[in-house]
């Protein structure tokens, strides 16, 4: 199957999801943006509908559906005019919980993965530190084994769902002298003694809680280790392809929603006695955005086909993330321009989209990192291999 040839079941799912968003999410977006907090009850409602476990096995409460259902979820949530809400949802299902499914013990899956899929818990992934963003191997947070516990010290930053979430999949150094072989993943409960969190005041994504975390002598059961000690870097590198692909889908869908919103505006506004949409400069601008979205979306859909087939597509996902995030920044900026002065006000949602979309070239690996990965594969013939679960 190809993403461009979705089945009738996929289309029915899209319509069901769209109706749910219209009723349960859109009426609350402005309030969540203003408060800087998403009402937790929405995750339970989404869990009840099965939306929080599309790609997870039925034994944990998931629906075990193919990747195209996840693609549709990413697209439709991206039309909510709130990058903050969308990213909170995507982080749970595609950027943090997958580590539980792939590598965690059955006990951890029952205690944490099942409630996530039910919408009863919110998960986060804590990798980035004040001194280590894209350079994961240089994280400084340590976890020292003492009997049946790890003692964790250090800090993390830019952690989506880090303030209101329930737990973090955390990258720690269990053997600081071993480089990438010394990194492990620990599940850390948000309310464990010794953890403090501060919300970051951000340019965009106002609905989502992005936090700085500090760990001071935090005592974590050794049973909270995810997978094998020292294998965390491999696990993280393996998980990045899905993270980058969902980010690419989100970027393209956001650009699409901005274009549609702008088209509706242009039909209503007049200047010099005629509709703005009738001016050739405006028409050509819209035409170019339309063409750019169409070509980028086709490549992103190609990557979705690869994900559906189970292909470990580092090169393709890196290209998709690069092109889609850069396109979204450019397209939304041009759309805002077409609103004139109104685009610079909070009365129109294009201003929020403009703020939200900017971070797309930074999250999940910056555009510069994407270019370096593509360069290594194209010039140096480096071939990245998938890391199978131990």
First to last CA, the chain: 30
Structure-block tokens of residue 41: 């009850």
**C-alpha distance from residue 386 to each of 77, 95, 236, 241 (Å):** 29, 17, 11, 10
Classify the C-alpha dihedral 296-297-300-302 as positive or negative. negative
Structure-block tokens of residue 270: 């007049």
Give the single-character DSSP code of 388.
-
Helices then strands, counting H and E runs in the chain, come out as: 13, 10
Rg (CA), the chain: 21
Residue 217, judged by CB atoms within 10 A of its CB (0-12, 13-18, 19+), counts as: exposed
Helices (H), the chain: 8-20, 29-35, 41-48, 67-77, 83-90, 97-103, 106-108, 114-118, 232-268, 280-309, 314-338, 349-357, 367-378
Catalytic residues, by residue number, are 243
């Amino acid at each position: 199957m190809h993403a461009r040839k979705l089945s009738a079941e996929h289309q029915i799912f899209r319509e069901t999801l769209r109706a749910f968003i219209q009723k349960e999410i859109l009426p609350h977006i402005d309030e969540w943006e203003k408060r800087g907090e998403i009402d937790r009850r929405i995750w339970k409602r989404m869990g009840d509908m099965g939306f929080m476990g599309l790609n997870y096995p039925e034994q944990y409460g998931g629906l075990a559906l193919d990747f195209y259902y996840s693609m549709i979820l990413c697209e439709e949530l991206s039309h909510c005019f709130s990058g903050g809400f969308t990213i909170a949802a995507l982080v749970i299902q595609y950027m943090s919980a997958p580590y539980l499914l792939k590598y965690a013990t059955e006990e951890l899956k029952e205690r944490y993965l099942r409630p996530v899929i039910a919408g009863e818990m919110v998960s986060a992934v804590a990798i980035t530190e004040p001194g280590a963003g894209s350079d994961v191997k240089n994280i400084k947070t340590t976890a020292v084994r003492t009997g049946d516990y790890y003692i964790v010290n250090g800090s993390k930053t830019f952690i989506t769902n880090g303030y209101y979430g329930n737990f973090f999949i955390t990258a720690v150094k269990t053997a600081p002298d071993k480089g990438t072989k010394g990194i492990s993943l620990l599940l850390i409960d948000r309310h464990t003694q010794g953890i403090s969190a501060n919300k970051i005041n951000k340019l965009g994504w106002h609905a989502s809680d992005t936090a700085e975390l500090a760990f001071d002598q935090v005592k974590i059961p050794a049973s909270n280790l995810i997978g094998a000690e020292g294998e965390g870097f491999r696990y993280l590198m393996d998980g990045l392809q899905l993270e980058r692909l969902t980010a690419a889908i989100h970027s393209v869908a956001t650009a699409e929603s901005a274009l549609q919103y702008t088209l509706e505006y242009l039909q209503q506004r007049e200047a010099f006695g005629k509709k703005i949409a009738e001016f050739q400069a405006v028409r050509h601008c819209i035409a170019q955005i339309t063409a750019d979205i169409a070509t980028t979306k086709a490549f992103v859909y190609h990557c979705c086909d690869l994900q559906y087939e189970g292909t470990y597509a580092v090169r393709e996902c890196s290209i998709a993330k690069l092109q889609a995030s850069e396109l979204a920044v450019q397209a939304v900026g041009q759309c805002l321009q077409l609103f004139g002065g109104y685009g610079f006000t909070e009365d129109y949602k294009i201003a929020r989209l403009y703020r939200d979309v900017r971070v797309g070239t930074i999250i999940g690996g910056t555009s510069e990192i994407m270019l370096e990965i593509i360069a290594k594969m194209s010039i140096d013939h480096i071939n990245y291999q998938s890391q199978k679960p131990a």
